[in-house]
């Protein structure tokens, strides 16, 4: 323990973000950073409690409790307090291949289950995690570590998102020759195309990819398995195949007028903007522009929030985000949402802070159901018709939406982005290999084992579990690598 009374002596503090009105003028990361003394103070708040729920990684109603990769949080908090940064980095890398990603984009379920949070504010775990890895790179401590011996076994990893990269990194450590196949023109999966640059600078992603390449991993881009190379051929050419293609099939909405021009899937909007920004700093114009337009985002999750932030940087005329869920309470409801569940409380995400600073109010509208889209004489969307709803859950757990009479409303709209989640993985590889699927259409493979119904083929990440967190993808990629190593060698030393 850093100091027995640290959680009482010091208050939780977070680094100030850049001003919302300043940061919407560029695409740079918006977080600022603490200095070493400030981080030491925050690390001192960690109690090193007898049962550290912060690194349990348990799925509970309402979300994950604790860290899915089981980060040894109290240990590196204590090391930071003692000024042992290099040792803290080693401890962090012991459980997490990519803390520079999770430290930026993870919603920090570890903080939601922090014991200090029972009676006050939790430890600033996520900030400390990012600071450790950033300092590690700054000091030159993070260097390529290729394996000393190769096993002669060849493994193909399909998909270069967090699950695929984590799996490849671990298998490479075990001495196997790993090739990662990515259908996009850049490595990173949703880390590159999906998460906007202001949340995760793509130079951070490329820095890690370069490191993995220096360690001996081969990356093949612009190659879609199932089209450019058949799935059967891949299984034939390699000793094992790990499918980490994600859950990229966007969920659609069945709403009157959906075929009008100006209505797009959220990922088409986000990915187009990111690619144009990386290719030409948006000068090529190969993206959907929200400039001077009234924007409506349907969907209250992270993807919808990223659409809000992107539209603001496009200089939209207005932006509104619809969610079918009710507005969360200001404080945790201990009866329905007790610790250590992830706290369901009202917060302003980065995009909502920006919209409020620009327009004077939270851009979100809660408990809203879109009834229809209406277009003009040229087939362009011009307005949305909505109604307020009340959501209840029946005895089977099924959600029931009841419309509230008299709450109908019409909204002007020039652009609409649909961000209502994902249905599961795309079916090309699944069909070619005739893989068994679960009831949600994901590739069927038992958690902890990751073997599919086809010999030599494993599955991990969102492709196996459905849409989830980056940190869960890393967890599954690491664990799948362990099971692939066991399959290839008969035993394994991987964690």
Neighbours of 83 (CB within 10 A): 12
Identify whether residues 90 and 127 lie together within a single domain. yes
458 within a domain of the structure (yes/no): yes
User: Which domain CATH number covers 400?
Assistant: 3.50.50.60
Identify whether residues 31 and 120 lie together within a single domain. yes
When pLDDT is cut at 50, 70 and 90, the band that residue 132 belongs to is: very high
Identify whether residues 384 and 267 lie together within a single domain. yes
First-to-last C-alpha distance (Å) of the chain: 26
Q: Count how many domains the chain has.
A: 3
Cα–Cα separations (whole angstroms), residue 248 to 69, 193, 431, 434, 442: 23, 11, 16, 19, 11
Identify whether residues 323 and 237 lie together within a single domain. no
For 183, the domain range is 154-248+423-489
Cβ–Cβ under 8 Å, residues 170 and 94: no
Question: What's the CA gap between 225 and 418, in Å, rounded?
Answer: 27
Q: What is the pLDDT of residues 37-51, one digit of tens each?
A: 999 999 999 988 888
Identify whether residues 259 and 391 lie together within a single domain. yes
Identify whether residues 298 and 437 lie together within a single domain. no
Q: Which of 105, 138, 171 represents a domain boundary (last residue)? A: 138
Q: What's the confidence (pLDDT) of residue 1?
A: 58
144 within a domain of the structure (yes/no): no
| pTM for this model (two decimals) | 0.95
Identify whether residues 374 and 394 lie together within a single domain. yes
Identify whether residues 240 and 272 lie together within a single domain. no
Cα–Cα separations (whole angstroms), residue 448 to 283, 461, 463, 466, 483: 46, 12, 15, 15, 8
Q: Which of 138, 162, 190 represents a domain boundary (last residue)? A: 138
457 within a domain of the structure (yes/no): yes
CA atoms within 13 A on the CB side of 450: 30
Identify whether residues 298 and 374 lie together within a single domain. yes
148 within a domain of the structure (yes/no): no
Q: What's the confidence (pLDDT) of residue 299?
A: 97
User: Which domain CATH number covers 43?
Assistant: 1.10.1060.10
Identify whether residues 269 and 416 lie together within a single domain. yes
Q: Which of 106, 138, 170 represents a domain boundary (last residue)? A: 138
352 within a domain of the structure (yes/no): yes
Q: What's the confidence (pLDDT) of residue 41?
A: 95
When pLDDT is cut at 50, 70 and 90, the band that residue 60 belongs to is: confident
Burial class (CB in 10 A: 0-12, 13-18, 19+), 265: middle
Question: What's the CA gap between 344 and 342, in Å, rounded?
Answer: 6
Identify whether residues 165 and 266 lie together within a single domain. no
Identify whether residues 90 and 22 lie together within a single domain. yes
Q: What is the pLDDT of residues 95-114, one digit of tens each?
A: 999 999 999 999 999 999 99
């Amino acid at each position: 323990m850093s100091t027995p009374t640290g959680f009482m002596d010091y208050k939780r503090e977070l680094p100030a973000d850049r001003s919302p009105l300043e940061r919407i003028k560029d695409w740079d990361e918006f977080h600022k950073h603490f200095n070493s003394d400030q981080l030491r103070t925050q690390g001192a708040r960690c109690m090193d409690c007898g049962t550290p729920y912060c690194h349990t990684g348990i799925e509970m109603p309402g979300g994950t409790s604790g860290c899915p990769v089981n980060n040894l949080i109290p240990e590196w908090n204590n090391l930071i307090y003692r000024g042992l940064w290099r040792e803290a980095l080693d401890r962090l890398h012991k459980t997490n291949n990519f803390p520079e990603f999770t430290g930026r984009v993870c919603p920090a379920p570890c903080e939601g289950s922090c014991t200090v949070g029972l009676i006050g504010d939790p430890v600033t775990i996520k900030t400390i995690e990012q600071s450790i890895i950033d300092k590690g790179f700054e000091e030159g401590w993070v260097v390529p570590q290729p394996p000393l011996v190769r096993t002669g076994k060849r493994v193909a990893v399909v998909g270069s998102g967090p699950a695929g990269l984590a799996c490849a990194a671990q298998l490479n450590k075990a001495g196997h020759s790993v090739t990662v196949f990515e259908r996009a023109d850049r490595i990173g999966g949703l880390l590159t195309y999906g998460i906007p640059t202001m949340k995760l600078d793509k130079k951070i992603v490329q820095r890690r990819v370069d490191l993995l390449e220096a360690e001996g991993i081969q990356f093949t881009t612009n190659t879609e398995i199932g089209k450019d190379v058949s799935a059967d051929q891949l299984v034939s050419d390699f000793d094992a195949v790990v499918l980490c293609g994600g859950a990229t099939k966007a969920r659609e909405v069945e709403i009157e007028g959906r075929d009008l021009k100006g209505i797009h899937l959220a990922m088409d909007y986000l990915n187009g903007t990111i690619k144009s920004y990386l290719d030409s700093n948006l000068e090529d114009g190969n993206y959907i522009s929200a400039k001077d337009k009234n924007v409506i985002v349907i969907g209250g999750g992270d993807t919808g929030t990223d659409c809000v932030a992107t539209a603001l940087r496009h200089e939209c005329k207005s932006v509104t985000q619809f969610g079918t869920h009710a507005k969360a309470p200001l404080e945790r409801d201990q009866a329905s949402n007790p610790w250590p569940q992830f706290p369901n409380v009202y917060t302003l995400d980065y995009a909502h802070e920006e919209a409020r600073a620009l327009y004077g109010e939270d851009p979100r509208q809660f408990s809203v159901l879109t009834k229809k889209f209406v277009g003009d004489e040229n087939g362009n969307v011009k307005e949305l018709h909505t109604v307020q709803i009340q959501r209840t859950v029946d005895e089977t757990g099924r959600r029931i939406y009841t419309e509230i009479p008299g709450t109908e409303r019409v909204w002007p709209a020039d652009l609409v982005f649909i961000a209502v989640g994902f249905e599961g993985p795309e079916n090309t590889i699944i069909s070619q290999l005739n893989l068994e699927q679960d009831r949600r259409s994901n590739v069927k493979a038992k958690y902890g084992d990751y073997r599919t119904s086809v010999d030599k083929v494993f599955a991990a990440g969102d492709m196996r579990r459905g849409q989830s967190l980056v940190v869960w993808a890393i967890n599954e990629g690491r664990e799948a690598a362990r099971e692939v190593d066991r399959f290839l060698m008969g035993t394994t030393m991987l964690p």
